[in-house]
Structure 1
Amino acid sequence: MLLTQGEIDNAAAALSTVMRRTPMIASRVLAEKIGCDVWLKCENLQRTGSFKPRGAYLRISRLSGQERARGVVAASAGNHAQGVAWSAEQLGITSRVYMPTGAALPKIAATKAYGAEVVLEGSTVDEALIAARRFSEETGAVLIHPFDHPDIVAGQATVGVEILDQMPDVDAIVVPLGGGGLLAGIAAAVKRKRPDVTIIGVQAAQAAAWPRSLADGHPVAAISMNTMADGIAVARPGDVPFAHISELVDSVVTVSEESLSTALLLMLERAKLVVEPAGAAAVAAVTAGRLELAGKVCVVVSGGNIDPLLLSHVTTHGLTAAGRFLTVTATVSDRPGGLIALLELLRDRGASVVDVVHSRVADDLYLDEVQVTVSVETRGPEHQREVRRALSEAGFLRE
């Protein structure tokens, strides 16, 4: 089931005129964190905002005339949906995409804008995929699987082809991992020419099917699928990607939700890149110190399609995780000047107040006390500890 060099070369040739050659950008902030030369492969700047059109276009372009006449169908939370819709439109083929009912509105709108008929069904991608398979069986429309097909993996392999061309002396490549198509493709392209390159996959810890699957020797469905990184929230690894990853990938690690949001914030602030949580998974593994890396490192940023509302929530989550946002509940005197004393202490400690909420209803309050929940901006974990210590010493916090 492993791709041959000829298949990878053919995919690269087929996509050379339709896909963008995404940039490789040096990351000083990541280099400083791990002491290596780090570059970002920016697939968030690919057509439709992710790497997905590479595999989708290759798969659809190879359909026969009869298959094209029946149209295509797919299931996705967003990125594969847009990749299929765009590819089908480019090739003059009708498309229908099943998306979970909780899919982000901007991703639904973008998929429709690329010409696909969108049907919302199921609460997960796996449930939407069941509906897509049923439609395929009933109508003859060709199912374009998001990752479990040789053409899909071959299309994603072109990311690896570009990495070797742009960074021929690369020592390690870190890649977000969901169903496995991107990691499998990159591993197939890179390991055939540079078997010495270390290749690492990164999953969200709360949607991690790969560690157990690799340990058991076959795909096993994950029990939990509760992550903000919907783009890599896949319950069961694909058989085709599994064959490649189990053979060619050096290791798979997981990252926490806090690490994902911190990485997204880092990309926004320091790299000036809009990245979705799934797209930031590899960055999260690097910044969280989960990897032992040396030499020249390529970190794949796989997508940038994020709902602005989610971006706001994740940014707040990231600020909190990075020690930049602190919420404490203090007890102050319910007399004139009580609140001012608290706010002056925060001012003197350099904490900028964002929000204040009063409450006179709490079990441990005395008659002349009020509970105040205050949210402040801080400069990091050490500053947070300083603020908490000052509040405690002043008697505002009850341990």
Structure 2
Amino acid sequence: MDSKEPLGPSPAVLAKRDKVKPSQWCHKVNIEFDNWCDSDNPKTILPNDVIKAAAAITHEIPKTPLTKSRYTTKLNMDLYYKLEIFHRTGSFSERGALYSLKMLGVEQRKIGVITASLGNWAMALAYYGCKLNIPVTVVLPVYTLVSVVEKCKYFKAKVILNGKNLAESKRHAFTILADSGKTYINGYDHPHVIAGAGTIGIEILEQLPQIDAILVPVGGGGLIAGIAAIVKHIKPEVLIYGIEPVKCCSFFKAMENKWPYETAVSRSLAESLAVPTAGYNAYNTAQSMIDKMVLVDDDWITRAVLHLVESEKIVVEGAGAVSMSALLAVPEIIPELREKTVVCLITGGNIDAVTLPKCLDRAKAVEGRLIKLTVALPVDGMKEQVQILRIIANVGCNIVRSYYERGWTTGNEFFKIYLTLLIETTGLEKSCTLKRVMERLFPDKCKFLEEPFSPIPMCACFPKRFC
């Protein structure tokens, strides 16, 4: 992107649109065509664009904290967290939202803007639209959390629920756009959004000049593009690693394919990163500056969420913990960062009250700290029940939940009950001890949920380096 020239529809495009009514125009050209994010004419975000964005938003968006991890010794690196969770709507998206709205013309501000989003971007745009008195319409997938919908409405945005994923929501947004005259702002690929996100890179270099590497969560790629644009310009020796969920890895696929294309995405704990097609501007800007792309499994993301809650006292969403998850992978996948100064970008804290406890339990199960045991006992087996409780106590475990289920009313099942226990331990070693003791004392009567005793699966497609 050349910061000396104004961006927007070219004269040829404007002339073409002027000849056709909006309602007719959508049938004559690609309905989802976005001149700001044109695959045939991708823009490159330059360092000066990020510097201009920083100057424009610095008074409304204060510098976010950079805190040192309590996990540095165990990971054998000087680890820091850049915390983007304390914004009004809980994510880094506010930077790009504010800057993109500030760059609108007078007439565009009056008519308003529209976007499709998975949540965080919608809330950020709605919030600053409300503050700047700019009408905002957001199209969200139908499964979007009620809390996200209500927050967007609280900030006076018009909310439309349509589509099973971001691609379908975006398509619906452009259908509305064709007749409304509104401005569509892409939440991960609009040049002003990318430049706004890049201001995080400026802050990191100011707060930690001796930095060696930055780990960045990746969805559509706007965040890593903005950060890479400014960091590689000021300090090119800093490593930029993109960390992306294996269930939704459109940017990783774009790097492999050497151009973005629509990829299949499945629901992940990092839902706000589930972008089916990487941004054209983002890819065009970042692809030559990314030192490594790494894919992470959902189980590693749950472990990162658990670690940040337990060790750092920080509550984050799945997407926000993606960068940290790469450091907790088993086996270790980025050993080259040992003894280096590393920043994990924590991008958001919008995890709901239903998902958080499930995520923490899943992480404990993955680490062998939460196990499920069912024991078949005689109906009058009080002695056996007391013995089981003593074994659990002697091994040093805690019972989190327990319940009974009567056997079926025919045959031998008539005289049985099934005692199911959810047991918390300090780790896999202690869980294995309990398993061995129980199977020895109650042969053929106890059944463990085996998953916690299996190794964490490793994705076969990473890590890969793209130069």
Q: Deviations over 1:292-315 (max 9, x none)?
A: 314100100000011111112212
1:370 partnered with 2:413: no
- What residue in structure 1 maps to residue 61 of structure 2? 19
- Is the 1:349–1:387 Cα contact (8 Å) retained in structure 2? yes
- Is the 1:20–1:46 Cα contact (8 Å) retained in structure 2? no
- What residue in structure 1 maps to residue 370 of structure 2? 325
Find the partner of 2:297 among 242, 246, 256: 256
- What residue in structure 2 maps to residue 237 of structure 1? 278
Distance 1:221 1:365 in 2: 56
- What residue in structure 2 maps to residue 41 of structure 1? 82
Distance 1:87 1:45 in 2: 15
- What residue in structure 2 maps to residue 314 of structure 1? 359
Q: Secondary structure at the match of 1:157?
A: helix
Q: Deviations over 1:334-384 (max 9, x none)?
A: 333232222222122222112223334479976644332211111111111
Distance 2:89 2:413 in 1: 58
Provide closer, same or farther for how the CA distance between residues 128 and 248 of structure 1 changes in structure 2, counting only shifts above 3 A: same
Once the two structures are TM-superposed, the CA of residue 226 in structure 1 deviates from its matched residue by: 2.2
Q: Secondary structure at the match of 2:228?
A: helix
- What residue in structure 1 maps to residue 216 of structure 2? 175
Distance 1:55 1:211 in 2: 23
Structure 2 length-normalised TM: 0.82
Amino acid at match of 2:148: K
Q: Deviations over 1:25-53 (max 9, x none)?
A: 00021x12320100000011123111101
Q: Deviations over 1:373-398 (max 9, x none)?
A: 21111111111111111111112436
Gaps of 5+ in 1: none
Amino acid at match of 2:61: M
Identity, % of aligned positions: 29
- What residue in structure 2 maps to residue 138 of structure 1? 179
Alignment of 1:1-399 (within 5 A): 1-29=43-71, 31-288=72-329, 289-292=332-335, 293-294=337-338, 295-337=340-382, 338-361=384-407, 368-395=415-442, 396-397=445-446
Distance 2:81 2:356 in 1: 20
Amino acid at match of 1:377: E
Gaps of 5+ in 2: 1-42, 449-467
Amino acid at match of 2:256: A
Greater shift in the superposed pair: 280-289 or 339-348:
339-348
- Is the 1:78–1:111 Cα contact (8 Å) retained in structure 2? no
- Is the 1:77–1:103 Cα contact (8 Å) retained in structure 2? yes
Distance 2:433 2:392 in 1: 10
Q: Over the residues paired in the alignment, what is the CA RMSD in angstroms?
A: 1.8
How many residues are treated as equivalent by the alignment?
Answer: 398
Distance 1:230 1:167 in 2: 30
Amino acid at match of 2:358: H
- Is the 1:178–1:237 Cα contact (8 Å) retained in structure 2? yes
Once the two structures are TM-superposed, the CA of residue 224 in structure 1 deviates from its matched residue by: 3.2
Amino acid at match of 1:397: C
Distance 2:261 2:373 in 1: 42
Q: Secondary structure at the match of 1:266?
A: helix
Distance 1:324 1:106 in 2: 31
Q: Which has the higher helix share?
A: 1
Q: Secondary structure at the match of 2:214?
A: strand
Structure 1 length-normalised TM: 0.95
Greater shift in the superposed pair: 371-380 or 293-302:
371-380
Q: Deviations over 1:63-93 (max 9, x none)?
A: 1111111101111121100111112112111
- Is the 1:260–1:277 Cα contact (8 Å) retained in structure 2? yes
Once the two structures are TM-superposed, the CA of residue 2 in structure 1 deviates from its matched residue by: 2.2
Provide closer, same or farther for how the CA distance between residues 378 and 364 of structure 1 changes in structure 2, counting only shifts above 3 A: farther
Amino acid at match of 2:354: L
